[in-house]
Structure 1
Amino acid sequence: MAISNGGLILLKEMREQLPPSEQKIADYILLHPEQVATMTVSELGELSLTSGAAVTRLCKSLNLKGFQELKLRIIGDLGRKIELTNRDIKPNEPVSITIQKVTDLAVQTLRETAELIDSKQLEMAVDAIVNAKNIHFFGVGASGISAIDAQQKFLRINKPSTASTDLHMGATIIANATKDDVVFGISFSGSTFEVEKIIELANEKGAKTISLTKYGQTPISQLSSIQLHTSPNREANFRSGATSSRLAQLHVMDILFMSVASTQYDTTIHYLDETREAIESIQNQQNLKKKN
């Protein structure tokens, strides 16, 4: 099913990167989404004091097929009364309220991430991984958790993978990469120095590069041949472990893994069965050793 939401999120996140005329249109849409949902290109251009051509350029800047797609996404947002703000915790808040706030933010982040995934870029990433000789995941801090999780997933289906969170170790690995390898850089901000350097080195070695960053053009995404994105949702002030961004990254990795598995269904099932049996055998041996 095609995504039919996320128009307001796209506009809110991309606004600062747009030319002045397109910013004016974005501001008008964010202030009057209900009215815009029924407008034509010319009407929006006139009411935003720009032009129909500027509206068309805005849609291209948002990587949308046209104004009709933008309107459909906005209508979808209005239909679910999208919330564009994060809800932070307060001093001495009841745990029941904290549970609700953290859960609501997690659900919002996952939903927005699904809406912002570019299907074509995802298909390119799937194809690159299916045909890769080796996959090298790299991230630092909380993004390193996502890199390690991804490596664990793909190793289980017999895709040779590495995961590193240290620039020196990562550089050592990428120095031996070839054009048959995929280097996957993960950074929520899209400007993490270590990840940027790893992607630059991978490009020099001729490896295929994939980035996973927050939505929008960032230094890391611009360096990568394939760009995947998560929700741009800002973390709350108490962002232990980068909760929202980490969840979004793991969500995209799950989608990517399942998409790869789907293209190699029978083979994937075979490898998963093999790895499951190997782990169960080891666990049984450990249990026997404990009993003895």
Structure 2
Amino acid sequence: MEKISAGLIMLAEMREKLPPSEKKVASYILEHPSKAIKMTAVELGEASHTSSAAVIRLCKSLNISGVQELKLRIAGDLQREKTDDRDIEPNEPLRSIVEKVTMQSSQILSQTADLIDTVELNRAVSALSKANRIFFFGVGASGITAMDADQKFLRINKNSKAFMDLHLGATAVVNAEEGDVVVGISFSGETHEVAKILEIARETPATTISLTRYGSSLVSSLADICLYTSPNVEATFRSGATSSRLAQLHVIDILFMCVATSDYEQTIDYLDATRTAIQGLHKKVNTRKK
């Protein structure tokens, strides 16, 4: 059976936004995860002073298939080795920093992979594969992700453009047509500029995709298709969006690979052509007149 996790992350992120009865179930599971994975829906309902129906509704709110998947995800969380989430310390040895940053990066990539909904991923890949034009938008560190996405999709001959300026982005998106795709990137999911771009895009026939941290947010509420990264909070010295940017790039890489493999032979031709062109840039320029 496929190994999955991130159940505890999903519960923690969604708890405060759940209806009262579902919130009680989520709180009980978060407080007693080892007990919860051994219980049936009826037993979870009794233990949390709710009902089995509340447990089932909770699974629907988390957009997972049912109680069994929820328990499998929590079991996966419990089996994973706990990592040191502390920030770096004064005069910390270099080897310790290398190991700590590597472990934290590995953790956020695994958590992000576990949070990817294959149904939503498939919808995003389908939209991007057929897109006439793709507009990526993000500000700050998310703007770096937008530029990376633009560079990748340009290499396979997609009509792609990245924007980090709200005015320029709005100018492009307001004229989006059917078959175009607008991708809004925001780790918090509350970035005003990204929300405005998706709000403008909603008034056009374009398909909208959001890439945010897991959980309900303003940006994700404005998108047709929602993709998520791990919601792990940055430590003080990692506040330059180290982990969140890495998680976003991971999802972009997945999207790119999925789109590329959907038209494999043509993609290989495009990649070969772009590789040859880049290599040719380093050759001496021929100045002879024709």
Normalising by structure 1, we get a TM-score of 0.94
Q: CA shift at 1:92, angstroms?
A: 2.3
User: 1:21-100 residue pairs with structure 2 within 5 A?
Assistant: 21-82=21-82, 86-100=85-99
Contact 1:86 1:233 (C-alpha < 8 Å) held by counterparts: no
- Map residues 141-290 of structure 1 onto 2, 5 A cutoff: 141-285=140-284
| Letter of the structure 2 residue corresponding to residue 196 of structure 1 | A
1:206, distance to aligned residue in structure 2 (A):
1.8
- AA paired with 1:259? C
Partner Cα separation in structure 2 for residue 284 and residue 8 of structure 1: 54
Q: Which one is further off, 160-169 or 96-105?
A: 96-105
Q: Secondary structure at the match of 1:254?
A: helix
Residue 8 of structure 1, CA deviation = 1.1
SS in 2 for 1:60: helix
CA–CA distance in 2 between the matches of 1:167 and 1:17? 29
- Do the aligned residues in 2 keep the contact of 1:7 with 1:77 (CA within 8 Å)? yes
Alpha-carbon separation, structure 1, partners of 2:284 and 2:272: 18
Query: Which TM-score applies when normalising by structure 2?
Result: 0.95
Shift of 1:284: 2.0
In the TM superposition, residue 98 of structure 1 has moved relative to its aligned partner by 1.7
- Mapped partners of 1:82, 1:33: distance in 2: 15
**CA–CA distance in 1 between the matches of 2:270 and 2:2?**
31
Cα offset, 1:118, TM superposition: 0.6
Q: CA RMSD in A?
A: 1.6
Judge conservation of contact 2:3–2:76 (CA < 8 Å) in 1.
Answer: no
- Partner residue of 1:7? 7
Q: Percent identity?
A: 60
Q: Distance in 2 between matches of 1:86 and 1:201?
A: 39
Give unpaired runs (5+ residues) of structure 2. none
How far did residue 128 of structure 1 move?
0.2
Distance (whole Å) between structure 1 residues aligned to residue 118 and residue 204 of structure 2 = 27
**Structure-2 separation of matches of 1:30 and 1:196:** 31
Could you tell me how far 1:126 is from its partner in structure 2?
0.3
- Residue type of the partner of 1:252? V
- Cα distance in 2 for partners of 1:98, 1:27 equals 34
Is contact 1:109–1:233 with CA below 8 Å preserved after alignment? yes
What is the distance in 2 between the residues matched to 1:22 and 1:169? 43
Structure 1 position 140 matched with structure 2 position 128: no
Equivalent residues of 1:208, 1:225 under 8 A apart: yes
- Native 8 Å contact 1:86 1:234 kept in 2: no
Q: Could you tell me which amino acid in structure 1 is paired with residue 182 of structure 2?
A: V
| 1:193 Cα deviation from its structure 2 partner | 0.5
> What do the CA deviations read for 1:9-48 (whole angstroms, capped 9, x no partner)?
1111111111222122112111211111111111111111
Q: 2: distance between equivalents of 1:256 and 1:74? A: 26
Q: Deviations over 1:179-226 (max 9, x none)?
A: 221000000000101000000111112211000000011001010000
Q: Is the 8 A contact 1:112 1:231 kept in 2?
A: yes
State the 1:82 CA deviation: 4.7
- 1:86/1:235 contact within 8 Å kept: no
Question: Please, which moves more after superposition, 34-43 or 149-158?
Answer: 34-43
Contact 1:212 1:228 in 2 (8 A): yes
Distance in 1 of aligned mates of 2:85 and 2:172: 38
* Residue number in structure 2 paired with 1:118: 117
* Structure 2 Cα separation of the partners of residues 170 and 65 of structure 1: 37
Gaps of 5+ in 1: none
Give 1:144 shift.
0.2
The Cα of 1:285 is off from its aligned counterpart by 2.8
